[in-house]
Amino acid sequence: MSTPPFSPVEAREARLRMGMTIEQVVGAMARLGVNLSPGLVEAWELGESAPSEIQLFALADALWCRLQY
């Protein structure tokens, strides 16, 4: 199984559309069992790193986004 592509720009835009702060995204992901720091989410949005597959699925769920393969 291949990992869905990740777009830092689309991730940031989705978060802003939801009116969420990075800290709120981290909290939503923690409720899904994926614990991470706000700095990591910021690094994703800046394109400095990319989420793992599990993190990506949790991020999509937290932001109410559908993953596109």
pLDDT over threshold 90, residue 69: no
Provide Rg for the chain, Cα atoms.
11
Sign of CA dihedral 42, 36, 33, 28: negative
Q: SS3 for 42-66, per residue? A: HHHHHCCCCCCHHHHHHHHHHCCCC
pLDDT at 2 exceeding the cut of 90: no
pLDDT class for 5, splitting at 50, 70, 90?
confident
Residues 13-52: pLDDT tens digits? 999 999 999 999 999 999 999 999 999 999 999 999 999 9
Structural domains in the chain? 8-62 (1.10.260)
**What 8-state DSSP symbol labels residue 48?**
S
